Amino acid sequence: MTRWIAPWALRLLAAFIQLTVAVLATVMVLPEFHLSTVSRRRDRDPPQFAYDYGAAVGWMALLIHRVVGWLLRGAARVLHAIPVAVVAVVAGVVTIAWLLDLISL
């Protein structure tokens, strides 16, 4: 069961985290957007800090998005690649060890 559900859950978690990062980055850039808009309405160029801040937020969001996708989707592929026989043997060994009180869960 884990072989099929865990990869799906990891992919879903990756998509949720990536969406959350995108929303947070958007919210974090709103002050910069407001500053730039006010500056342009007054026929001025926005301060360089506004550009640098927006670039930094975008870079961090992109980095987190890629790392989360790479790690969680990679883990999903690894879990899905585990043969069913290996899962059955490990489950059997853990169950027998638990029944013999060799491990406690």
Structure letter (DSSP) for residue 45 = P
What are 74's two structure tokens? 């990679």
> Token digits for 101?
């009180």
For the stretch 3-37, pLDDT in tens is 678 788 888 888 999 999 999 999 999 999 898 99
Q: Is the dihedral of CA 54, 56, 59, 63 positive or negative?
A: negative
Chain segment 42-79, per-residue pLDDT in tens: 988 888 888 899 999 999 999 999 999 899 888 888 88
User: Looking at the whole model, is its pTM more than 0.85?
Assistant: no
Would you place residue 1 in the very low, low, confident or very high pLDDT band (cuts 50, 70, 90)? low
CB distance 22 to 95 below 8 Å: no
